[in-house]
Chain A
């Protein structure tokens, strides 16, 4: 299983970035192999609009099965659903802690967006 965590840095000790669309990095961890990949989200960080949608597309393209983050807006949530990526919100701490909680089944799957959209 591949888990994407929105992060402010590129490794397991990086803090979880509470923003989904405008997260600094996506840290993707393969739970079987333990392999870690960090993807820069700089393009979306500075996007005028549609950052959440683009980010969802990126996460889906990274073949993530789930994403762990702080908040997800309505358009990003719709896009993640279309990409068959399950969403976990309200995640805090480091990437390592987030993954541990996820594997211990302590995170709750989101069934809707956790925040309002921007402008639209």
Chain B
């Protein structure tokens, strides 16, 4: 079972929920793995404190030119939709950061002057936190496109009973790449106007992807609008994490709330069960 933890708004508690669910599942003896797909700011490691056994570069293919074979015809530049390769003067000029790795220029080249070479865009870190499998992608500073790094994280994941995917915030390509192929999307929201607005956007995205979804309200308090919204849209709220100081303190120490008290741990176990039932149905 693959569950993506997502949200429209940032800072609602995706990583809190994702790390605690993964921890609780592993504590139950389930074969579980946590994937940090928030590659622009991966921070699940702060809570899971994994031992990292392997680090390897994440690369993606970009073109290189063999000047001795290039006749300057410009077919590569005409094929490229992103201006990553342009023919000015008598030879192609490359802008690797604009490249989407589609391979179009290589196919368009009539003289075989272009080939693809790997370009490093980030790092994959693979390890364990107790019995829990841990994989994190880390995008290099200045890189514009995170989906290739997210694909690398997902591709490195072993087969598991439960895969928890910690997605980046928002509703654009990185989120879609993270959520794609999951059995269930758990949307974490907060009871603020911003949280509600962005929950609406996230619901639209998940609906478009035709995936089942559930909601968790973090820092839950008096606000009834989130509940109203979910009722109106037929989305089940599986849990509410109360807005209490002990939870915030645990978070600020980098501690898991499931370790805080049996109540929270049981809460996470209930949440796992409810998600499992949602997938089974």
Contacts and interface: CB of A to CB of B under 8 A. Distances in A.
A115 interface: no
Contacts of B142: 120
Interface stretch (B83-91, B152-160, B212-220, B249-257): B83-91
Could you say which interface size class chain A belongs to?
A: 10 to 19
Interface of A: 47, 49-50, 53-54, 56-57, 60, 75, 78-79, 82-84, 119-120
Contacts of B82: 49-50
Nearest to B96: A120
B89 A49 contact: no
A82 B93 contact: yes
Contacts of B97: 120
B93 A49 contact: no
Contact of A78 (B84, B87, B93, B144): B93
A53 B95 contact: yes
A53 B88 CA distance: 10
A47 B95 CA distance: 16
Nearest to A21: B83
Contacts of A54: 83, 86
Contacts of A78: 93
Nearest to A44: B83
A119 B144 contact: yes
Given A49-B82, A57-B77, A75 B88 contact: no
